[in-house]
Structure 1
Amino acid sequence: MICVKVPATSANCCVGFDTLGMALDWFATFYFEPNPEFVIEGCPDEFKNEDNLVIVGFKKTCDYMKVDMPTLKLKIDTDIPSSRGLGSSSTCIVAGIMAADAWFHGQLNKMEMLKIATEIEGHPDNVAPAIFGQACTSFMDDGDVRMMMIPCQNFKGLAMIPDYPIQTSEARKVLPQTIDYKDAVKQVGYALSFVQCLSSGNELIFPKTCHDFLHEPYRCKLIKEYAEIHDYCKSIDLAMWISGSGSTMLAMSLDEKKLDMLQEWIVKYCGMSYKKVSISTKGAYIEYE
């Protein structure tokens, strides 16, 4: 049996719209074994077919390696919520790719896996950290994926998870077609500083960098709890952003006391689900059972 473990991810990271993502130490687990017939367990009935993203990733990897798709049993074990901005679809895609590679005895390197995952997902900002771990910057260059890992300090986080989903397609509809030139300049400064703060652990500047012009001012209106949580985080100088396209929000700090304060405030005033997380140094990996 092949077991693949894939981390949840937080894309955009506020100022890194479509280019920056980080792996979280919150893993989904996928089990693969030979089977006379095609079977999927551990997901809603509507995903128990060949359109399941795990199977899509597996089959596309087989096509890439020019081997036949085997019949198999897939079991999914995850509590990463879907359509909440935590990379649930990326965990499925990456799991399928890594399982197919392991099934046929490891022919691919991680950049090849990233290429396949990006072709399925459409962009690399979630799948890159899911494969490599840490935080990753990425972009497309004439159809080729380019990425760099960002070594991160030991940041801790609190994922705040509303009880409603936001579809990425809907979240993209609220975005503007253009932004002011002066705002674009500011965005570059904030994004470059954000990355440096992750690497250096500069807590003085880190919360100040979380000032986005590209998506959060528009998507925040889809998350009814955002304004209050944002204001509270700002009052205690705590970095916070919308994870992916939402509805999850993520706060991060080296100071766990601030995160404890936020957690107590969430319990008292918001009553939503939450989970303590940290940046995972490890991307997806294989275990054999």
Structure 2
Amino acid sequence: MVVSVPATSANLGPGFDCLGLSLALKNRFSVIPATFTSIRIQGEGEGFSKFLVDNIFVKIFKESLAQQGIKENFEFSFYNSIPISRGLGSSSAIIVGALSALSHYLHGQLRKEEILEESLVYENHPDNVTPAVFGGFNVAVVEKVNGRLKAYHLRTQIPDYLKAVVVIPTHSISTKFARQALPKRYSNTDAIYNLSRSSLMAMIFMQEKWELLRLASKDRLHQDRRMRLYPVLYGVQKLALESGALMSTLSGSGSSFFNLCYAGDAPGLQARLQKKYYNFKVMVLDFENEGVQVEG
């Protein structure tokens, strides 16, 4: 089987750990029964020995089978397009990919709600894993039920007349390191500021009121503190908003920047960003509304 999982952009400004959407940039994971276990990586992560020795996908897949009393060997081939440690959901893609491969292997189908629930064992923030599983724009919350985390979520399709223009710097930022820049406490004013804007953003995606995105995407909880770790991102955001972006936000914990625009504005926005930030990769991407899939 070949399981494909899309990249994701989370937080989207004010929606810290609860808002996310899916991008048409995918990792593909091939799993084939074999006489002995082997791992091959092409694309992102290729040439890094640590991904061959300590591979999270392989560990989740084989340990989960062992719990079912199944001990078999497989040939694992990874075709990775999602940049690593750039805030585009590469870790979530691996987790969702492994659990989806397991679901298909055991049941012959993708049980997406179960995949989401199991994902929370490995990633307790649902903003990336939920759009990776279901595609589209997602609002997700986590509640502990009978001692176990459970995700509750709603989603909507993203229309094809919108595009994402994603700026991917050469500099990586680990999520763990970026979280260390955040304070332990926030003021009531800042909390209410974000609650109001994340609520507005959810309604914008439901009602397609895109002209309000610039207002709704403002944040006081995390974005500015994380951007200070890599100040060039302030310039990326400023230029994007001056060049047709409807919103411009740090993607996840960074270092990538997510820009949403109308399809007709995407080529010009990409060109202006690429001209100024010529060392970075600037990609125009469709949105992805299906989530994880078995392709073969």
Could you state the TM-score of these two structures normalised by the residue count of structure 2? 0.90
Report percent identity of matched pairs. 27
- Please tell me whether residue 48 in structure 1 is matched to residue 55 in structure 2: no
Counterpart AA for 2:200 = S
Change (3 A) 1:153 1:189: farther
Structure 1: gaps of 5 or more residues: none
Counterpart AA for 2:287 = I
- Please tell me whether residue 247 in structure 1 is matched to residue 252 in structure 2: no
Shift of 1:99: 1.1
| Equivalent residues, number | 284
Q: How does 1:39-188 map to 2 (within 5 A)?
A: 39-42=38-41, 43=46, 44-49=48-53, 51-62=54-65, 66-106=68-108, 109-142=111-144, 143-154=149-160, 155-188=162-195
CA offset digits 1:42-98 (Å, max 9, x no partner): 14221113x31211331354366x241421010001121100001111111111111
Whole-angstrom CA distance in 1 between matches of 2:244 and 2:182: 27
Counterpart AA for 1:70 = E
The answer for the alignment partner of 2:229 in structure 1 is: 222
CA RMSD, aligned part only? Answer: 1.8
Whole-angstrom CA distance in 2 between matches of 1:100 and 1:137: 25
My pick for the range that moved more, 180-189 or 29-38, is: 180-189
Whole-angstrom CA distance in 2 between matches of 1:244 and 1:275: 17
Whole-angstrom CA distance in 2 between matches of 1:36 and 1:209: 54
Whole-angstrom CA distance in 1 between matches of 2:131 and 2:69: 27
Structure 2: gaps of 5 or more residues: none
User: Is the CA contact (8 Å cut-off) linking 1:57 and 1:117 kept in structure 2?
Assistant: no
The answer for the alignment partner of 1:34 in structure 2 is: 33
Whole-angstrom CA distance in 2 between matches of 1:136 and 1:63: 33
User: Is the CA contact (8 Å cut-off) linking 1:58 and 1:100 kept in structure 2?
Assistant: yes
User: Is the CA contact (8 Å cut-off) linking 1:137 and 1:147 kept in structure 2?
Assistant: yes
CA offset digits 1:12-35 (Å, max 9, x no partner): 111111111111111111111011
Change (3 A) 1:267 1:183: same
Partner SS, residue 127 of structure 2: coil
The answer for the alignment partner of 1:213 in structure 2 is: 220
User: Is the CA contact (8 Å cut-off) linking 1:153 and 1:199 kept in structure 2?
Assistant: no
Whole-angstrom CA distance in 2 between matches of 1:62 and 1:11: 30
Counterpart AA for 1:22 = L
User: Is the CA contact (8 Å cut-off) linking 2:103 and 2:111 kept in structure 1?
Assistant: no
Shift of 1:197: 1.6
Whole-angstrom CA distance in 2 between matches of 1:212 and 1:60: 40
